[in-house]
Structure 1
Amino acid sequence: MVTLVIAPEYGYTLAVSVLSSVLVTGFGFKVGAYRKVAGVPLPQMYADEVEAKKDRKKQIFNCKQRVHQNTLEGFGSYLVTLLIAGLRYPVASAGLGLVWCAGRVAYSYGYTSGDPAKRQWGAFGHIGDLGLLGLTGKIAFDMIMST
């Protein structure tokens, strides 16, 4: 049987989970605000490719939309691994979560510069993803081996 004891330091993990959620929500607000500037009406997800090539604002809108969607695509697995890994490794998990957040911010700045190739600025954020995945895997392994 496994006994779960949550250390007070788990508060750091929870604080990073809140920060992460605020970050993702902020990306969504940026898309909504820039939609008007670019003149991309709802319910269109993106500006048409031809229009985006002609109009820099539409291109940047598409980039902002892609940042938000790309972040959402991996957010569920990131959050699950953050919260699980934080049960045993709260400070390390919070640190890895902050690396993920910083990577997402750098990715956003690079991508929305109008040059999507600059999204690579945020590649270091994968250290957070992979670290959390590794810690969660270690917890699973340790639990299985203790039976």
Structure 2
Amino acid sequence: MVTFTLAPEFGYTLAVSVLSSVLVIGLGARVGGYRKVANVPLPIMYADEAEALKDKKKMIFNCKQRVHQNTLEGFTSYMVTLLIAGLQYPTASAALGLIWCLGRVAYSYGYTSGDPKKRSLGAFGHIGDLGLLVLNGKMAYDMIRAGCLN
């Protein structure tokens, strides 16, 4: 049986995971809140392209929806890497998670500004994703190496 002890600093990792979940919920709420403004009824996911090109509110709605969808597309792998890296590197994983969160906020505000090209404002958030992947890779390498030495 394998046992391990979590460092108290793992609480930082957990706090960032909670913050990340609240962020995703907030992005979804922004979509729902703007749905009436843009007059895009449920269950329609996006405003029609022709309508969005004519109506700035519909375009902004589509951008808000895309931000939320894009965030959800990578959220599972982000959370897995955040929590696994936090087992060995709790402070570093929390810091990288915060970078990811700040990047998502900047991405959202840039994308929904009315000029979707401004989404690149949040590109720095990929530092969080990549950093977490590196930490997970290092943990895998260290575990495999330790097993090979036995």
Letter in 2 for 1:51: E
* Structure 2 partner of 1:38: 38
Deviations 1:61-88 (A, max 9, x none): 0000000000000000000000000000
* Structure 2 partner of 1:116: 116
Letter in 1 for 2:29: F
**Aligned CA-pair RMSD:** 1.0
Instruction: Write the distance in 1 (CA, Å) between the matches of 2:75 and 2:47.
Output: 24
Give 1:4 deviation, angstroms.
Answer: 2.0
Give 1:5 deviation, angstroms.
Answer: 1.9
| Matched position secondary structure for 1:146 | helix
Cα distance, 1:69–1:22 mapped onto 2, change above 3 Å: same
Q: Please identify runs of 4+ aligned residues in structure 1 that moved more than 4 A.
A: none
* Structure 2 partner of 1:138: 138
Correspondence 1:92-131 to 2 at 5 A: 92-131=92-131
Instruction: Write the distance in 2 (CA, Å) between the matches of 1:3 and 1:41.
Output: 51
Give 1:2 deviation, angstroms.
Answer: 5.8
TM-score by structure 2 length? 0.96
Give 1:123 deviation, angstroms.
Answer: 0.1
Structure 2 unpaired stretches of 5+: none
Letter in 2 for 1:42: L
Note if 1:17 corresponds to 2:17. yes
Instruction: Write the distance in 1 (CA, Å) between the matches of 2:139 and 2:89.
Output: 9
Overall identity of the aligned pairs, in %? 78
* Structure 2 partner of 1:88: 88
Instruction: Write the distance in 1 (CA, Å) between the matches of 2:2 and 2:110.
Output: 44
Instruction: Write the distance in 1 (CA, Å) between the matches of 2:85 and 2:4.
Output: 13
